[in-house]
Chain A
């Protein structure tokens, strides 16, 4: 029984930890792409990787200040969005899907390759770049603090605080944008691109703007993750994470301002609970070792997300808060 409470506490920390922030920001970005504009970006993790490595490379390799690193990260996300969008945004939806997933995987392979090691640190990645950011915390980052029965280091708390501020900021931004004329055009593109074109709007430009905006939000997710873990390693940015974020978005409800945020918190809670719970069941011998060993548990989360994604799309594509009419399911 105490294991169960433990699992709840660990999962409760995941509810607010920087991982939830990471997925919330990824999902907010995907919400701009997929939820509002109807763009199938399956390479969101590439934006996050550029975000994380933008800071890591600038600070620990080039010796630039932290804030310049943030600017580099944003800049590289914008460039990536332009590169992805230029060839594909005029084409049918699934072309963007194929290209984005290919670029995300390609970039990861490139970053972990031997020839990129002098810049990216190869498979070992980079570390020691978040010192000046952690030092800004107004409290003692060395001490550990107890909040609601969970233990946090001062640094973790600081990253989580700034991270959640970013989440709130971007949520408000998306909320305001989607009430604006720009948002109405973008939503109209999702519904019927040709009709918008007939009204004299430059659909291509609007799509590109949405792609850049969502990508930059995703890059901020990557920055929070890199600063939170204190290291940037290419293999942390597996493309399965993009689909975890899709799972979060669709669980919460696409094309809803709070959908991605609530979805990310819930998803992380469920995953962490399943993770810790399964490990406890295995170590207690409830689940025999031959059926599932504790090393397999890390893979279970992706299996769960995959099943969840399929079930949600088949039976409740609007998620918890969504409106079925607003969910883009029938692209041309």
Chain B
């Protein structure tokens, strides 16, 4: 997973800058980069024709890019000076020499396939620590999204399958403001969170409150939420498209070395933001009037109502808070994994795993459960391939249900 090849980026850049230098337009180009080192500057790249005549030799620039104009279409041998690579970055299976065929008028991308040692470290302690830190970041992110899901379940009894779409909508709104609107990501996220709270409000006022008034049963509401999830998910795909796109800011960051693990500053920021937000949520639940009211409604709705709590208002606040938190989680996820139309739905299953593990309907349970799921999913890549790591998280969910169905903080009575 961490073995970022030069592939994707080299391709993209090559398409963006077609043959800038040569009159005929043919050139070879590429980007040297791995996930841990970031772009690699100052590596000598030599281009020769197949019979050994040197065309040109250049150093990569601060973005790790190189472009060498070539005299015409044909085969060229591109060689990289291995000694210039920083420590920790090694040549991949392609070795230090790549032969490419340049078509007429093409800027031919060259893929060296550098590795930063993370994928084949073979379960050393550093690898485990690295995954642990990554897992904590991911788990906190799940928790930010899942707190709303758990509180909505606690206060209304609704198993909201459309919660993942709150995550996607938030991330996509932030993407439009950030990339299309040109607003820096931090203010864009804050605007998107307000919009996300608005989406939560619309959810409650436009759909769920009327349904509660009609006396719609919980199972019917559950299926309605699935319908809503389908509608929203595919509308997002129609509006936003099926591609994944990054945010405009904080993309080309170099990982900072902390001794036993490395982390980009945006991952560090993601952890700090999640922790601060979750602590604020916990303080709100413990100390403020509305927070206490939320816990009271979760605990016993009728009793709360008869002791003078405006239950509908509490539920409305829970929805708005859930929407805003889901948006924040979506932006954090988009920052690490890019923005995609179904990112929320895929996260939803892990949110359910986290919420179930912690105990359905308990706010703190959602926090602990999500953290465990996040760490488990990332650490499991020590053993299983990373493209099936979500499967591991889902298996964990099933094992929990067998061993302790009420979850860590849940009470036996809730699961019937």
Interface residues of A (CB under 8 A from B): 40, 42, 83, 86-88, 90-95, 97-99, 101-103, 105-106, 109-110, 113-116, 240, 243, 246, 250, 292, 296, 299-300, 302-303, 305-310, 313-314, 317, 328-332
Is B21 an interface residue when CB atoms closer than 8 A count as contact? no
Q: Is the CB of B238 within 8 A of A300?
A: yes
What B residues does A94 contact at CB under 8 A?
159, 218, 222, 360
Set A91, A93, A243, A296: member contacting B227, Cβ < 8 A: A243
**B157: nearest chain-A partner, CB-CB:** A94
* B382-416, CB < 8 A from A: 384-385, 387-388, 390-391, 394-395, 397-398, 401-402, 405, 414-416
Set A86, A103, A308: member contacting B402, Cβ < 8 A: A86
What A residues does B228 contact at CB under 8 A?
306, 310
**Among B237, B387, B394, B397, which residue has the most Cβ atoms of chain A within 10 A?**
B394
Give the interface segment out of B192-200, B267-275, B302-310, B349-357. Answer: B349-357
Q: How far is the CA of A300 from the CA of B230 in the complex (A)?
A: 10
Nearest Cβ on chain A to B44's Cβ, whole angstroms = 34
Q: Is the CB of A93 within 8 A of B219?
A: yes
Q: How far is the CA of A300 from the CA of B231 in the complex (A)?
A: 9
**A238: nearest chain-B partner, CB-CB:** B342
What B residues does A105 contact at CB under 8 A?
346, 349, 390, 394
A102 with B349, Cβ < 8 A, contacts A109-B391, A299-B238, A317-B220 known: yes
Q: Is the CB of B388 within 8 A of A110?
A: yes
Q: A105-B349, A300-B238 are in contact. List 9 more A-B contacts (CB 8 A).
A: A40-B222, A103-B398, A116-B388, A302-B233, A303-B238, A314-B211, A314-B216, A314-B220, A317-B220
Q: Is the CB of B230 within 8 A of A303?
A: yes
Q: Is the CB of B226 within 8 A of A243?
A: yes
Q: How far is the CA of A329 from the CA of B221 in the complex (A)?
A: 9
Interface residues of B (CB under 8 A from A): 159, 161, 211, 214, 216-220, 222-224, 226-235, 237-238, 346, 349, 352-353, 356, 360, 384-385, 387-388, 390-391, 394-395, 397-398, 401-402, 405, 414-416
Q: Is the CB of A303 within 8 A of B398?
A: no
Q: How far is the CA of A292 from the CA of B233 in the complex (A)?
A: 16
**B349: nearest chain-A partner, CB-CB:** A102
A102 with B226, Cβ < 8 A, contacts A86-B402, A330-B217 known: no
The 6 closest A-B pairs by CB, nearest first: A306-B230, A309-B227, A306-B231, A330-B217, A310-B227, A329-B217
Q: How far is the CA of A100 from the CA of B295 in the complex (A)?
A: 29
What B residues does A332 contact at CB under 8 A?
416
Q: How far is the CA of A95 from the CA of B353 in the complex (A)?
A: 10
Q: Is the CB of A102 within 8 A of B230?
A: no
6 contacts between A and B (CB under 8 A): A93-B219, A94-B222, A109-B388, A299-B234, A329-B216, A330-B218
What B residues does A103 contact at CB under 8 A?
394, 398
Q: Is the CB of B227 within 8 A of A102?
A: no
A303 with B219, Cβ < 8 A, contacts A87-B405, A101-B349, A105-B349 known: no
Q: Is the CB of A309 within 8 A of B238?
A: no
**B392: nearest chain-A partner, CB-CB:** A106
Q: How far is the CA of A91 from the CA of B414 in the complex (A)?
A: 10
Set B219, B384, B402, B405: member contacting A330, Cβ < 8 A: B219
Q: Is the CB of B214 within 8 A of A314?
A: yes
Nearest Cβ on chain A to B123's Cβ, whole angstroms = 17
Q: Is the CB of B230 within 8 A of A113?
A: no
Q: Is the CB of B391 within 8 A of A302?
A: no
Q: Is the CB of B416 within 8 A of A302?
A: no
**B399: nearest chain-A partner, CB-CB:** A87
Q: How far is the CA of A257 from the CA of B171 in the complex (A)?
A: 44
Q: How far is the CA of A105 from the CA of B217 in the complex (A)?
A: 26
What B residues does A296 contact at CB under 8 A?
238
Nearest Cβ on chain B to A312's Cβ, whole angstroms = 8
What A residues does B391 contact at CB under 8 A?
106, 109-110, 113
Q: How far is the CA of A110 from the CA of B415 in the complex (A)?
A: 30
